[in-house]
Amino acid sequence: MFTHRRNLTLFVSYRSMRVQFVARAYFQRATVNEWGLEDVPTITTYFHSPSVIVTEGNPVDLQTIVHHFNERVDRFSRNGSGYTLAWIDALSAHFVKY
């Protein structure tokens, strides 16, 4: 639970929480359009981490989360679409009292 007080965000902890991370990524590929001009179409994708339960004795393992996102990006790129990762512009964390 987040509370706002004097423009500060304070985190109120619980015994346990469920957390999931979501990354918004943009992929591009170089193509040639019907007029013979170079074109770079861009698509937006969202990658979700598995939900994990976080407690005082079981903190979030960020290395595992990053590894999961890297695997998802690699799998997306290997599917043969020709799109490659251009940039990631957002990473959000969703917390639910558990």
The residue ranges of every structural domain in the chain are 2-97
Q: In this predicted model, what pLDDT tens digit does every residue of 55-84 receive, in sequence order?
A: 878 888 888 888 999 999 998 888 877 899
Supply φ then ψ for residue 62, to 5 degrees. -65, -30
Q: Which long-range contacts (CB under 8 A, 24 or more apart) does 38-45 make?
A: 42/86, 43/83, 45/76
pLDDT band at residue 37 using 50, 70 and 90 as cut-offs: confident
Least confidently predicted of 8-17, 29-38, 50-59, 81-90: 8-17
Residue 54 has a pLDDT of 85
